[in-house]
Structures are given as C-alpha cells and as structure tokens.
C-alpha cells in the first residue's frame, strides 16, 4: 500500500508563554522551538505500521519553505521512505483551502492508496483532510483511532465519537483519513536517526510542476484571513494564589476540605 502522510511544522507552545509581536498580527516566533505537529507523528506511525503489515512505502509531504525540511527528515528518520516539499512564492499566504488545493495537486501526480493527516495542528481547525478528500472525491473520515486493512481495497476503521465510543465503518480505498492521537505509540527518533537521513535528497515541487494556477492559491486567493491575535477574555478568571509554597499548600488543603470534604 502506498501511503502519503501530510505533516506540518509548528511552533512548540504547550510549555511556553506566547507573546505577541508589536503589531499584534502574529505571535513572537523567534524564541519558540519549532518541530513537527505532534498529532502528525501518530499518522506517520500508523502509516509505517500498515506498510510493515501489508507492504508498500510511506511518503511524507509538507507545504512550506526550506525550514520545513527538518520535519520531513524527522519523519523519514521514523521510517518514511520519501519526503517531499511543496514550495513556491505563490503558495505563501494560502488559507486552509489553498493548502488543501496544493496537496490535492500533489496527490493527483502520484498513485497513493491512502492519504493520512494528523487530527489537527496549531490552528486547531481540523480542516485540511476533509477539504482534500472532497477535492479528490475520495471518501473521508476524521478522528480515526484504528485501521485494519481488508481484502478488496477496503479498510475497517473506527472513529472516536462522544464518550470515547468507537464508530466502526468500512471505507473504500483510495481515501483520506485524519488520525486521532493515541491510536498508537509513535516510535522514538534520536539525533542519530535524523543524521542518518540528513543527506537523502528531498524533491521540491512548485506551482508549475503541480500544474497549479498560482491565482487559485496563496494570499490573493485566500478568502479566510487572520486579522490579529489577542488574549482570550479571562472569563471570571481564577483567584491566583501567591506566597510561599507552604502557605499555598495550607490554603489549598483548607479549600479542598471545605468544598469537597475529607472522607
């Protein structure tokens, strides 16, 4: 089975405080460490496990610039056979639909049985996979948390639905699936693994190679535009406890006893 996994390079923000730039239209990115969007590792791992069972190769692809090569290499160090960078000045400023259109053009150039994405990226939209599938007229499922390859170019999949229940379906190939985190345990990648694939060439494709009309992607075609960032309204906000740890611990213990009772 030939599997394409779409990945994205994102700033690591879960452990860091985010600051805005002076213009307020972006976050300060200089201090942030970039890496692959964590959910994408689950998609790559799943692809590798499928090809280990039934044969075939895994290709990872991203839309971006030179800096994005590092995430392709990381996923190649996991075991992906090929990495491909879709890059062109005409692509910059694309909205999500534009990104899906670029990926669609690349999928059409190849012969992939299965296209995977992570469940969502830093923008939290969970959008690209479903758009890509519709553009290709492939079946689609999101929040996929198990995949079994059946005979007759079909998969048996489950989706994670409310309360952690699993919605089980059959889906025809080729299809696009967005993979829920937790479906597997992505393998560890060390520096040595990344160095080992450091010199593998990564082909690039631009608008011309993808036969994409530059006016259909990029900033000019974008109909969804972020205007600014701001801090969420604080709601009622928490009462922040200050003081020594000893004082804080005493206060918290009293609050638990008062509000919940100690049995």
Partner 1 sequence: MARIFAYITHRAGIIDDSAAELLTAANKIDPAAPPTAIVTGCGAELDSVCASLCASYAEVWKISDESLAYPNAELIRKALVEVLPPGSIVLAAHEHFGIDLAPGLSIKLGAVFASDLLEIERTEGSLLKVVRQEFGGQVSAHVQCDISSGAVLTIRPGAFKALTTSPANGQVVDKSAEVGTLTAGRRYLETVVAETGDIDITKHNILVSIGRGIQERDNVAIAQDLADALGAAVSCSRPVVDAKWLEKSRQVGSSGKAVKPKVYLACGISGAFQHLAGLKGNPFIIAINKNPKAPIFQVADVGIVDDLLELLPELTNKIHEMRKVAA
- What part of residues 133-192 is at the interface with partner 1 (CB under 8 A)? 133-135, 138-143, 156, 158-172, 175, 181-182, 185
Within 216-235, the residues that bind partner 1 by CB under 8 A are 223-235
Nearer to partner 1, 14 or 199 (CB): 14
Nearer to partner 1 by C-beta: 139 or 206?
139
Q: How far is the CB of 9 from partner 1 (least distance, A)?
A: 14
Can you say how many angstroms the Cα of residue 144 is from the centroid of all Cα atoms in its chain? 14
* Closest separation in Å from C-beta 107 to partner 1: 14
Our CB check for partner 1 shows the closer of 16 and 195 to be 16
237 binds partner 1 (CB under 8 A): yes
**Strands, DSSP E only, in 42-179?**
58-63, 82-86, 114-118, 140-150, 154-160, 166-172, 175-179
Cα distances from 251 to residues 154, 231, 240, 244, in angstroms, run 58, 29, 12, 11
Q: Which is nearer to partner 1, 26 or 66 (CB)?
A: 26
Q: C-beta of 207: minimal distance to partner 1 in Å?
A: 20
What the block records as the tokens of 257 is 């006893």
**Nearest approach, Cβ of 120 to partner 1 (angstroms)?**
9
Residue ranges in 34-73 that form contacts with partner 1 under rule CB under 8 A: 42
When the beta carbons of 124 and 201 are compared against partner 1, the nearer one is 124
Among positions 108-127, residues that touch partner 1 (CB under 8 A) are 122-127
Which residue in 55, 152, 191, 259 binds partner 1 (CB under 8 A)?
259
Encode 15-29 in three state secondary structure. CCCCCECCCCCCECC
> Between residues 100 and 115, which has the closer beta carbon with respect to partner 1?
100
Rounded Cα distance between 174 and 114, Å, is 5
Q: What are the distances in angstroms from CA 118 to CA 13, 140, 186, 243?
A: 17, 13, 12, 42
- Using the contact rule CB under 8 A, the part of the chain among 47-55, 59-67, 79-87, 244-252 near partner 1 is 244-252
Please, what is the minimum distance in Å from the beta carbon of residue 160 to partner 1? 5
Give the residue with the Cβ less far from partner 1, 82 or 154.
154
Cα separation values, 28 from 13, 19, 31, 151, Å: 11, 6, 7, 50
Task: Give the Cα separation of 221 and 104 in Å (integer).
Answer: 16
Task: Tell the residue number behind the tokens 């990344």, with chain if given.
Answer: 194
CB of 236 to partner 1, least distance (A): 8
Spatial separation of the C-alpha atoms in residues 160 and 185, rounded to whole Å: 17
Specify whether the CB–CB gap between 67 and 34 falls below 8 A.
yes
CB of 197 to partner 1, least distance (A): 25
């Amino acid at each position: 089975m030939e599997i394409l996994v779409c990945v994205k390079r994102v700033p690591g923000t879960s452990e860091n405080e985010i600051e805005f730039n002076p213009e307020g239209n972006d976050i300060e990115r200089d201090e942030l460490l970039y890496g692959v969007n964590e959910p994408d590792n689950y998609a790559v791992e799943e692809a590798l496990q499928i090809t280990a069972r039934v044969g075939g190769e895994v290709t990872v692809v991203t839309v971006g610039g030179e800096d994005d090569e590092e995430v392709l290499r990381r996923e190649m160090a996991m075991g992906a056979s090929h990495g491909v960078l879709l890059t062109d000045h005409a692509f910059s400023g694309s909205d999500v639909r534009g990104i899906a259109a670029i990926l669609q053009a690349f999928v059409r150039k190849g012969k992939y049985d299965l296209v995977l994405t992570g469940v969502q990226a830093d923008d939290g939209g969970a959008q690209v996979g479903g758009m890509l599938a519709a553009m290709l007229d492939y079946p689609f499922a999101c929040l996929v948390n198990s995949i079994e390859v059946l005979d007759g170019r079909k998969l048996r999949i489950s989706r994670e639905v409310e309360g952690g229940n699993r919605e089980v379906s059959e889906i025809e190939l080729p299809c696009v699936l967005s993979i829920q985190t937790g479906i597997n345990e992505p393998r560890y990648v060390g520096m040595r693994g990344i160095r080992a694939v450091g010199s593998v060439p990564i082909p690039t494709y631009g608008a011309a190679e993808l036969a994409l009309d530059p006016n259909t992607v990029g900033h000019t075609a974008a109909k969804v535009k972020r205007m600014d960032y701001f801090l969420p309204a604080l709601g009622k906000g928490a009462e922040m406890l200050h003081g020594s740890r000893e004082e804080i611990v005493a206060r918290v213990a009293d609050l638990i006893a008062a509000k919940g009772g100690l049995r």
